[in-house]
Each structure stands twice: as C-alpha cells, then as structure tokens.
Amino acid sequence: MTPPATGASPGASPSLLEPLALYGAGFAADPHGHYRRLRDQGPLARVRIAPDVDALLVTDYHAAVDLLRDTETFTKDPRVWQAGVPADSPVLPVLGHRPTALFTDGAVHARYRGAVNDTLALIEPHLLRAEVAKVAQRLIAAFSATGTGDLIAQYARGLPLHVFTASFGVDPRDTERVVRGTAGMMDSVEGAPAAYDDLVGVVTDLVGARRRRPGRDLTTYLLEHPAGLDDNEAVRQITLIMSSGHEPTTNLIGNALLRMLSDTGYGGSLHGGAMTAREAVDDVLWRDPPIANMGAHFPRHDTEFHGVPLRAGQLVLVSFAAANTQSPPTGSDPAGRSGDGAHLAWSAGPHRCPAKQPALLMAMTAIEQLTSQLCDLELAVEPGALVWRPGPFHRAPAHLPVRFTPLDTLPEPGAMSVPDVSDPVPNRVGGTPNG
C-alpha cells in the first residue's frame, strides 16, 4: 500500500491533516497516487483545489453514492461557501453559484432540469450519429495525408464542439471563443474567470439574437419551453450544457483513444488489436472518467457524515475516479461491482448527468470513424511522456501525438456514404426527458 500523506496515519481525521493539492503538474501526472494517499484518511479527505481553497473529497464508493442521493442533509447551493472564497478564484467558474440545474434544489431544480432534459431530448440519435460521422470525416481529411497528427487538437476537441455549436445555433465565427471558454474554466488556472465570462458573452449574444429572430435550433426551443426561462436563466442553462457537454466528451474521446493506443494487446498500434471502442470507453469511465472530481455538495447544517464532522456550508466534492477504483481491479469492473451502470462517471441521484446517451453516441462514433480510416494509428511518444492538463476537476491529456500511414488521397468531406444532416434538430417541440 502507498504510504499515507506526510505526518498522517491510516484512518487519521481529515481535520488534522494538511490538505493534499489536487492541482498542478504533480497531480495531473499521477492522480491515482494522490487518491491512494487520500484513501488512507478514510472515506473523506482534506484536499486543496486552488490556492487558499480547501474542500473535503469523498473517495469511498458507498459514501459517494450516499452523498449524491442525500437531498435532506446536503444542498447544491454554494452561496454560503462562496462568500468566503476570493472573487477571482480560478475554481469559481466551475463551482460558483448560477441559476442553473447544477446549483439548485427542489422545485427550482426540477424546473431547470425539465427544460434541459426536454431540450436535449430533441437530439435524435440517428441524426446525431450521421452528423458526428460527417464532422469526423472532415476533421480526419484535414490531416490524413500528413502521416502525423494530434488527436486532441485536431480531432477530439473539434468534434463535439461542432455538434454543440451547430445544434444551439452559435455563429461559426464564435466557435473558438466557445473552445477557449469551456477549456479555460475547466483547467481552473489564472485566466479561468475571464474565459468563463467570454463564454457567457457568446451565449448572451446568441440568446438575444434568438429572442429577436427564432431559428431551428436548441436555443430557440429552450427559450420557448413551458418553463418560461428569462434571458439570464437561458444563458446559464446553455453555458452549463456546453461546458458540461463539450469538455467531458472531448476528454472521453481522447482518453479512450489513448487507452486503445497504449493497450498491450495492440503492441502500440490499433492494427490487429482486440479492444473495441465500446470496451475502451467503458474502461475509461471506470478508471479515468473525464470528470474526475466534482459533485459539489454543501451541508445544510453542522452534521456528521460517515464518521466525519462537517460544518454548515462546507464544500464536499466527490471523486468519481477514486470511488470507481477503490478496490483492486476485477475484470472490467475495478471496484468489484458488475455492470457498466455501477460506475459513477455520470454521477448519481437527482443531479445525474442528463446528456449520457448523446455523449456516449458522440464518443463511440468518433472513435469508430477514426479507427476505420486510420487503422494503423500508433502513439508518436511513450505514454509516460504525455502531458496532462492541469486542474482538479477533469482528467485529460493536453495532446495526443500519433503517426500513421498517410492516405494516398484526401477524401472530400462528406464523400463517404453518410447522410447529409444539415438540420440535426428536428422540427418538433416535445420529447421525453432523459433524466
């Protein structure tokens, strides 16, 4: 077993220990080493997620499930905690209060969640698959003749971005601002507040434009939803969907491709390998979920949770990555449970991710398109040389350099037998909520 943090003894109270930093290059390079040390403190451990910002992190699977489902003891509203956090803290773009489904409880949460669920339900799976395949072909064609590429910058990041911005009707000239906004806020570095503010600016302009002139897109539907969202509420739901949809999907695609490329069954190449896209995605959701630490909850009053005293308003986060991997791996189930629905990568309880199916479909289609066209992909560097993005919340390589046999000719975008989907959102107002 990895020794506990300096000065700690197994089972020591988290309140007596120096918090372990969950940001910076050290954590990004070895998060699971950090989780092993944190488990020695018990089901909850003290962590530091930014300079001068501490939290308790749940690393135990059963404690995590209890927390995510306990709406009586805990609230999702961070404002009591937030009052003691510097206004320019790099974690506030992710954890700071906004009128969205992520930071509300009860009837208010139900109103926001209903609008989000119904909006996402408009994305028809077969049309989404066709749209992703079309975008994938265009992205692959841009570098397939070179024999080298960066599967993050040139593929995984651009694919979900196109789908989300097109579905919501974002002006193509603003797509790079959306990328910088969603990536910057998740990295939780010095420029995170400015990155989030710019993302809000893009969406504010979009909502204003759709109020004046409705279109055939998800933004228009959200504005016309029976929930009756005002402009600020609509802006915040859309920024939430984009940030929690684009970044995790990008990370899921990148992490799964890395898993396939580094699997010993492939000998470093996809050619002749045995791991399918589905197996790689499932493995990543268990071992390296794209959102590693999140699920912010705050005690409504002073209480005790799994033997640990908590103060009212104290920040408690869930480590989905640590909870999933707390026991030695058993087959494809690292935590000793069965079924892909047992992991916590999509969270649990009333705030479970509402975009699970679209995200899975995008990731699977993206991987299948890439591996079918560039079948001899292999990493251009050793896995240990990869650089991981900073930040306490996600798990994502900064780059994924590969090499492959160049294609003799560049396929024209959309030239393969994939339906042309110019309108990925059907002209209907309804749908069954998926969460």
Question: What would the two tokens of residue 60 be?
Answer: 């135990």
Read off the pTM. 0.85
pLDDT at 325: 92
Amino acid at 164: F
| Strand runs labelled E in 77-116 | none
More confident residue, 64 or 267: 64
Summarize pLDDT for 258-316 with one digit per residue, the tens: 999 987 554 444 545 557 889 999 999 999 999 999 999 999 999 999 999 999 999 99
Q: In sequence order, which residues have a C-beta less than 8 Å from that of residue 294 and are 6 or more positions away?
A: 94, 317, 318, 320, 347, 393
Task: Give residues with Cβ within 8 angstroms of 430, minimum separation 6.
Answer: 118, 121
Collapsed DSSP state (helix, strand, coil) of residue 155: helix
> Residue 184: phi, psi to the nearest 5?
-65, -40
* Helix (H) and strand (E) counts in the chain: 15, 11
Locate 172 and state its tokens: 């193509």
CB 388 within 8 A of CB 29: yes
Among residues 44, 71, 68, which one has the least CA distance to residue 58? 44
Residue 181, pLDDT score: 83
Give the residue among 228, 230, 206 at the shortest CA–CA distance from 218. 206
pLDDT single digits (tens) 174-223: 888 888 888 777 776 778 888 889 999 999 999 999 999 999 999 999 99
Q: What is the pLDDT of residue 7?
A: 34
Pairing outcome for strands 74-75 and 378-379: unpaired
More confident residue, 117 or 338: 117
**Per-residue tokens: 326:** 């707390």
Residue 294 dihedral angles phi and psi, to the nearest 5°: -160, -135
pLDDT at 142: 95
- For residue 16, give every residue at least 6 positions away whose Cβ sits within 8 Å of its Cβ, in sequence order, or none: none
Q: Which two tokens stand for residue 145?
A: 């003749």
Name beta bridge partners: 331.
none
The predicted model gives 220-237 an average pLDDT of 97
Backbone torsions φ then ψ of 338, nearest 5 degrees? -110, 150
In the numeric block, which tokens belong to residue 124? 């028809």
